[in-house]
Structure 1
């Protein structure tokens, strides 16, 4: 499928999965009394799923290192591990909504910088006034979602 609507729906489902995963892993970490063990279990299951998908769809690759690929392209695992371990530890203490909202805010900041400068091989998309306003509205929305209701 090579259709923008398919991509949008797939990413919507992926986005739904982030707080679900955070709540599940936070609960597992709390029950195991170890956010690190919960993160390790999550990655072990994720590795099995990813490896199965790879083998079913493409077979065994000849190598995992692509020629002329900068070393830093292999650091994605570090960032996903940091995210999983931190949200597994923080969510039971700070709340899933608070944790995910600040993750979303961090994503908004990072996507803006990456796109504006065309970093890491991304297409460059300059920060226009219209886009900056949209980002500010999204960031404001994150904080409005977190606002405690007034007791009245």
Structure 2
């Protein structure tokens, strides 16, 4: 392992890094909020596949308004074709949103059998391993980044911190072969999610804006989930007879926009690994706030939950420390 890569982020002061960390936390906090909203929508409609599609489709509609009805949106969407012609963006980058659809499907298929806590640990482990690997192979816009001791330590601390934070919910979990096989699905979802953020970062760098990447994410994800829902209808029917009237059941899509657009922007600034770690910290903080303010049935908040959440922030600082010190030296 080498101490530094020529493609590392530019040196920044600690104050700038604190600002970037705050953006990571806000982007990450959107995910538990989206999960809670989508869970309520799924319960009301009685169809988790339809709820997932509806959430994505609402996000897609919002992105259409942003991309085509605002001056900034039209200006950045006009850069898509030139970026593809120049080779800066490959056509398959536009399919990154399918990963979001796959991630939602892993939630639907596994949480009921392995539980939220195990799901969270599996996803975070996948995101962290993916962040290390995708940075190493240069999938993100910053090119290849060596796995330095501090980056590896920060990644390991993140996984340990998340396991500690959800440990109160792991008590009594059964360990069977089927259980282990099911854990592979959320792990792969987290691993691919880190790759999705890397490709979104490449697009954002090419377009000089996260708007087109976010638009194509919701287009691809909506298309995939629509196909899955239609297959489900052909198999067993069950079209929802009515939609709930509670307005906040429909904000899952906009919350997803915050996460995807924020991640696409952050990857261009700090790389795949640190962006993933910072947003993981935001996810745990958002979950903790929700469990304290509007607790869901079965939610558990203990000292381990709070300290594990705090430890994720320490992990981000550890992984970012070499870049912070370079900034101070200039």
TM range (shorter): 0.7 to 0.9
CA contact (8 A) 1:35 1:89 kept: yes
Match of 1:58 in 2: 233
CA RMSD of aligned residues (A): 2.8
2:264 to 88, 104, 129: 88
> Matches of 1:3 and 1:126 in 2, distance apart?
18
Is structure 2 residue 133 aligned with structure 1 residue 23? no
> Matches of 2:241 and 2:220 in 1, distance apart?
20
Alpha-carbon deviation of 1:16? 1.5
1:3 to 97, 113, 137: 113
> Matches of 2:241 and 2:259 in 1, distance apart?
23
Alpha-carbon deviation of 1:9? 3.0
Q: 5+ residue gaps in structure 2?
A: 1-108, 115-178
Match of 2:17 in 1: none
> Matches of 1:64 and 1:91 in 2, distance apart?
42
2:210 to 21, 29, 35: 35
TM-score, with length taken from structure 1: 0.78
CA contact (8 A) 1:22 1:91 kept: yes
> Matches of 1:143 and 1:117 in 2, distance apart?
27
Q: 5+ residue gaps in structure 1?
A: none
Is structure 2 residue 138 aligned with structure 1 residue 138? no
CA contact (8 A) 1:90 1:99 kept: yes
1:72 to 237, 248, 256: 248
Q: 1:62 to 1:3 in 2, by over 3 A?
A: closer
Alpha-carbon deviation of 1:42? 1.6
Match of 2:275 in 1: 99
1:13 to 188, 192, 197: 188
- Give the structure, 1 or 2, with the largest relative contact order (CA under 8 Å, sep 6 or more): 2
Bigger CA radius of gyration: 2
Q: 1:15 to 1:70 in 2, by over 3 A?
A: same
Residues 90-124 of structure 1: CA distance to partner in whole angstroms, max 9, x if unpaired?
Answer: 321232223222211110101112223444xx325
Displacement over 6 Å in runs of 4+: none
Alpha-carbon deviation of 1:80? 0.6
> Matches of 2:215 and 2:291 in 1, distance apart?
32
> Matches of 1:61 and 1:128 in 2, distance apart?
40
Residues 26-45 of structure 1: CA distance to partner in whole angstroms, max 9, x if unpaired?
Answer: 11222344421121112111
Count of residue pairs brought into register by the alignment? 148
